[in-house]
Amino acid sequence: MKTVLSGRTAEVIIDTDGPVVIIGESINPTRRRKLVSSLQEGDFSYVLELAASQIKAGADILDVNVGYPGVDDAKLLPEVVIAIQDNFDIPLCLDSPNPSAIESALKVSAGKCLINSVNGKEESLRALIPVAKEYGAAIIGLCMDDDGITNDPEKRVSIIEKIIDRAVAAGIRAEDVIADPLAMAVSAEPQACVITLETIRLVHRKLGQNITMGASNISFGLPDRESLNSAFMTLAVYCGVTCPIANPEKTAAVARAADLVLGRDDYAIRFVEYFQSRNS
Ligand code: THG
């Protein structure tokens, strides 16, 4: 299955049989106070720096989230989208708890975007599916709903199925729904990663969707996060994750290595190119 996204002109194909596509996570105010403070002063240089460094490190798509208490992101999100797309030709993944911010950003965005954090709650489906349809965007569906988050992988899958059904009923193509199995901190729940991996496997086998996840969520509160994230990322890619949301500076090498090991990089061409570009 292929999900095609685009920037102003550049197309990115997320293919369930293809190499890992990295959605760069860094344009997110969590742990980056400077992002909010610079944007509130009307200074876009830091957000553009974050975009440039992630693209250089291997991001194929950029997640854009400027939601923060006191920030009017219905105003700010479209401004940031314009600033990024004026400077970089890359598809964007828009995230906000505020559906009107998503809509105002889609109005000004070029190409085909991804809407992050759609979930199985009625409120989310009603607000965001019509917006995705109207602006021709793809969506990320999180497997949580009005009953919260379940630890039963089968139930997580059924929430993804519900989101796909609702999207398809509204005229969105099934391949434009990317599943998020919910990666959560293994320090808080010992089975968290196993539950997520099983959900990934089931979505891949039963539904065949492209699959994302917040790749660094699992290591919150633990030392040596990079080793943990690498171990999890490799297993998740093996089970069916195709487009993790991650820090490319820390995960691009693991992604290229996983592609090679899994027979998705004939003659190690991408792997070798990646290391040449990194060392140049
Ligand atoms: N699913 C979906 N969207 C998501 C998440 C998800 N968006 C938010 C989050 N989870 C993924 N994005 C981030 C963004 C920033 C950071 C972590 C996850 C972050 N990390 C630390 C930092 O940069 O200091 C540590 C980074 C590291 O160790 O590499 O700020 O699950 N659909």
Give the pLDDT confidence of 196-242 residue by residue, as tens digits.
999 999 999 999 999 999 999 999 999 999 999 999 999 999 999 99
| Residue 251 to residue 248: CA distance in whole angstroms | 5
State the pTM of this model: 0.98
**59, pLDDT greater than 90:** yes
Which pLDDT score is estimated for 133? Answer: 98
Tokens 């999180």 correspond to what residue? 142
Is there a contact between 144 and 120 (Cβ–Cβ < 8 Å)?
yes
Average pLDDT over residues 100-113: 98
First CA to last CA distance, the chain = 34
Is there a contact between 115 and 137 (Cβ–Cβ < 8 Å)?
yes
Question: How much distance in Å is there from the Cα of 140 to the middle of ligand 1?
Answer: 15
Which pLDDT score is estimated for 278? Answer: 84
The radius of gyration of the chain's CA atoms, rounded to the nearest angstrom, is: 18
Tens digit of each residue's pLDDT (9 = 90 or more) over 144-186: 999 999 999 999 999 999 999 999 999 999 999 999 999 999 9
| Residue 173 to residue 75: CA distance in whole angstroms | 29
Q: Record the tokens describing residue 242, joined without a space.
A: 């195709």
Tell which one of 247, 251, 254 to mutate to probe ligand 1, the residue whose CB is within 8 A of the most ligand atoms.
247
Average pLDDT over residues 125-148: 98
Mean pLDDT of the chain: 97
| Residue 172 to residue 129: CA distance in whole angstroms | 8
Which pLDDT score is estimated for 45? Answer: 98
**51, pLDDT greater than 90:** yes
Which pLDDT score is estimated for 232? Answer: 98
Q: CA angle at residue 58 from 57 to 62, to 5 degrees?
A: 100
Q: Record the tokens describing residue 223, joined without a space.
A: 């030392």
Around ligand 1, the residues with Cβ closer than 6 Å are 25, 28, 30-31, 95, 116-117, 140, 142, 180, 183, 212-214, 216-217, 225, 245, 247, 250
| Contacts of residue 41, Cβ cutoff 8 Å, sequence gap at least 6 | none
**61, pLDDT greater than 90:** yes
**279, pLDDT greater than 90:** no
Tens digit of each residue's pLDDT (9 = 90 or more) over 77-89: 999 999 999 999 9
- Rounded to 5 degrees, what are φ and ψ at 32? -135, 75
Which pLDDT score is estimated for 213? Answer: 98
What structural domains and CATH numbers belong to the chain? 2-279 (3.20.20.20)
